[in-house]
Amino acid sequence: MIGTTLALLISGGVLIIFLVAAMVGGLVDAFGEVEGGSSFDADIESGSVLHLTFDDGIVERGLGQSFTVNFNDFSPEKTMGLNDLLADLERAAADENILGILLEVNGVGGYPSTLGEVRKGLLKFKESGKWIVSWSETQSQKAYWLSSMADEMLLHPEGMADILGLNLETTYLTGLLEKLGVEMQVLRGPNNLYKSAVEPYTRKSMSEPNRQQLQALLEDFWSEMRSDIASSRDLKTERLDEIANGMLLRSAQAGIDLGLYDALMYEDELVALLEEKGVSIDSDDELELVSFSRYHNPNAMGDMLAMAMIALEDADDTDKTKDDKESETDDLAEAVDATHIAVVYAVGGIQSGEGDDQTIGSARIARALRDARLDPEVGAVVLRVNSPGGSALASDVIWRETVKLREAGKPVVASMSDLAASGGYYISCAADKILCQPNTITGSIGVFGMIPNMNGLLEGHLGLRYDNVKLHDHADMFSSHSNLDAEERIVMNGVISDIYNDFISRVAEGRGMTINEVDEVARGRVWTGQDALEIGLVDGFGGLQDAVKAAAELASMSNYELVELPEVQDPFEAFMEDLIGVQHATVLQELVGLTDADLAPLQQVQEILHGDRYQSRLLLNFNVN
């Protein structure tokens, strides 16, 4: 009671602080516009440089505000949406006040697909004739790849960089489960040899089929990274293999000798270089460097106040009568010309229900697709997928809405991001056109079921015993306190086989292939975008912007606006929902000494066990350096 009361008091106090801050920011902006300027001035000065660091990582979709809340210390936490970044790079290329870009990328998280899309956005910026300079104190391998297209590659004289090639690690939980006394009863679809999502719970090392497919992933990842770096730095691709295998990048000077960098510079020398390029100096004798968050939303505080006002107005809307709402719906149903392309974001694991901005809830995403189908102003849909899959049932619910869109005459283009595998491919396969990145992870067309037997843990370690009475032979089939018998395994395998056959039938129908052709490339195997194009699972390469253009062409739309669905969760609502309890998780994590990477496989176990019974999911607990 005391903890809950304190949490409520703290949450109320923090919320008031943010509301007051938003109000003050809005007032400062208002007075600034009248008096000619303020620290919150939205104007970008002439001679400015866009300063990109990617320290906060890149998410699939910006949430409509410049920052969220870090619950560890209640400080503002910046966010960067890929959709916002690509749009802002295009805007900056035409912005007369932006001279160029300074990349200061030490390390960057994310899958190769997202980073490749960012890199292409930067290359497109260079086509405007503006320059890009990269300077870092240290650089990871992925950060170097992302930055290598810069006009000038600069490193701190005592800095370090890594080019050691690619490594992929997978966490296996079988030993932990054995110590706990938990037995995982796993069933897979027919011939799903490559469906490796279940291996961490049944094995202590990789199976050969899994090793084969993961090796192929790494080879395709490295092929693109190596080719990009070699092209940008005028090196031979073989030379990069020599650098990695020989660990030749051992110092900053070695980077110069190997042709990986152009010069070594201290920060003051970098400032002098940018001044020579015409970068302006502000009133504090500092360079006019514009961060992404400021360039994307220079009036963040004012916008926070605006969102609060909108929330209050929405609350007033609840007083409308039923007749008022019905009349509004009738107005929207009137025939109008289609002027919008809807981008529907499907991000995260797939599950039944509503989900949220990080989870694909079948009800929420299906509703967004249905809204796009029924909205006469929407002429085409881009389904942006970044998902390892999840519930087979929830995937089918979403798939059905994509089919209904096509039947309504509205083209659907699936745009695959980092992951569109298993259920992620399921919801994409009915699209008129599928685009991906060369290093997108896709395929994994397969199904599995997993039921834990907790007796060893509950009785052996906790001293808990269970007894039961039943009227029918298999009434306790899905109890977590008993093993599946032979007859029950036959029944479950039959169900999984039916779901798998439905899956490959959906793919065959959507891709114009025979069921046998699909089965040959399915069986749970993952593919990179490069391989998926060769075997017919996708239609071509391209990012989100390319998918929008493809949708416009299919719908014969020359002038259009984008509308993003589903609506993002209200930040204040999310704040209040997450506040209570998050501190407990943080303290526990710190006490045990676990990192976020350590917790990821445990979180995946929770998702699988608490999800629907039959899953079409890709193994997520691996990391590519």
Residues assigned a catalytic role: 195, 422
CA distance 573 to 571: 5
Q: According to DSSP H, which parts of 451-570 are helical? A: 455, 486-511, 515-521, 529-534, 544-554
Judge contact between 352 and 612, C-beta under 8 A.
yes
CA distance 42 to 242: 49
CA distance 276 to 261: 20
CA distance 405 to 380: 9
Residue from 208, 261, 615, 623 nearest 448 by CA: 615
CA distance 95 to 72: 37
CA distance 206 to 622: 12
CA distance 279 to 285: 12
CA-based torsion, 548, 552, 555, 561: positive or negative: positive
Beta strands in 128-228 (DSSP E): 131-139, 152-161, 168-170, 183-188
CA distance 105 to 107: 6
CA distance 231 to 23: 50
Report residue 58: phi and psi, to 5°.
-125, 125
The DSSP bridge partners found for residue 76 are 69
The conformation of residue 55, written as its DSSP 8-state character, comes to T
| ∠ Cα 45 278 152 (to 5°) | 115
CA 472 to chain centre: 46
CA distance 382 to 420: 14
**Which helix (H) or strand (E) is 31 found in, with range?**
helix 2-35
CA distance 38 to 57: 29
CA distance 58 to 61: 9
Which residues contact residue 48 at a Cβ distance below 8 angstroms, ignoring those fewer than 6 apart?
A: 97, 98, 99, 279, 280, 288, 289, 290
Longest dimension (CA), the chain: 86
Residue from 210, 218, 198 nearest 525 by CA: 210
The conformation of residue 460, written as its DSSP 8-state character, comes to I
The DSSP bridge partners found for residue 384 are 345, 415
